[in-house]
Structure formats: structure tokens, C-alpha cells
Structure 1
Amino acid sequence: MSVNGMQRSEETATRNGIQALEMAFSGVLKCRQDVETTKTNLMTHYKGSDGAAFTSLVTSWEEKADVILTNVQDMIETLNQTLVEQGKQQGSSNDAINQAYSQSDSIFDELTSGSR
């Protein structure tokens, strides 16, 4: 394989990695939002110590999901930077990813402020 062929192969692999990470990000974000919606709906009816334990468990899971989302976003940005350094076009839209993440934060804030 020529050097140019190897570079195209590496670029394709990098772009495939970005696409896979974007899909993972979207999946985790959707799950996180579904869990938040379920938690909010159940909190109105789920009282007492078992309700508090449930809320604590879900909150802990959400915090872990946020760490995963941040790490996946960092990996996407790193791969995008790799493409930029290789003189290739941007592999994905960081703005779109940041917007989705911000939207999840605002939805979370809105839901939690309404449940207090």
C-alpha cells in the first residue's frame, strides 16, 4: 500500500471512529434523558425512604452518564483535531455535539427545578 493509500485508510478509520463515537454520544444522551423523564414522573408518586433511595440511585447513574458523555465528546474532539492536523476537513460538527450536550443540561435543570 502506498503512503497516500495508507493516509486515506487512516483518514477513513478516523472518520469511522468519529461517526461511531457520535452515535454512542447520541445513544447515551437519549438514555440519560429517558431516565431523567422517568425519574421526574416517578418522583411525584414515589415517596418515603424507597423513593429517596430510588432518586439517589438514578442521580448517581446520571452523574456517571455525564462523565461518559464528557469523555466521548473529548474523544470526538481529539479525533477531529487529528484530521485537522493531517490537513483534512473537520470530521464532524463540534457545535452540534456541544449544542446537544447543552440542551441535555438545560432539560435536566428545567426538570429538576420543577420537581423541587
Structure 2
Amino acid sequence: ETDRLGVAKSLVWGGITYQERTELKIIVSNLNATRYRDEILAPVVLPFLRRHRFNHVFQQENARCHVAHISMTFLEINHIIRVLTWPAMSPDLSPIEHLWDEMDDVSEIAKIHRKR
């Protein structure tokens, strides 16, 4: 899928803890709740949390696919009950948002160097 300018839409999903990170998942096209469950929660989040014996609090932003009934039911069925309630419009509270900002900065620097 592309945007109105013909540029392919994609996003990168990742999870971090104080000491570790999940694998990065590249998602092409829009991410709905079913895809979020099937491509992120089931194959990445659940095994990661199980490896750590569910000793982490799972935090996600309030994107529709995150808070949709299908996603929240999956978390509940799989006993991921420590989901942090997240205030709307609060990316500054999310540790991974700071990491994404750093990656954007590095990406912009790389673009400048490639143009030279």
C-alpha cells in the first residue's frame, strides 16, 4: 500500500526493557487489531514475556489496534494482566519513543552524508 505520493507505507515495531529488546518487526501497510495480534502479540510479545515469566509490565500506547477488543482479549486470555493504563497523547512518557527519536536523528544524519 502507498500514500498519496506513491511512497510505500510501513512501520517498525519494537519492545524494550531496561536490559533487553525484542526483535524489530517491519510492518508493511496499515496495522489493524487482527494483524497486531497475529504479527506482533502472538509471535513476539507473548514468547518474550513468557521467557521472563511475565515479570514485566506491558506498556503500549493508545493506538486503535492496541486497545481494540481483539487485542485486549488476546492479552487477557494469555494472562498478560499487567498492562499499564496509558494517558492519551503522552508519547513523552514512553521510553521507546525516546529511542525512536534517536533513530530518526541518526537516519537524518545518514541522509545528509549520502547526499554529499
TM tier, shorter chain?
under 0.3
The structure that is strand-richer by fraction is 2
Which structure has the greater CA radius of gyration?
1
RCO comparison, higher one (Cα < 8 Å, 6+):
1
The structure that is helix-richer by fraction is 1
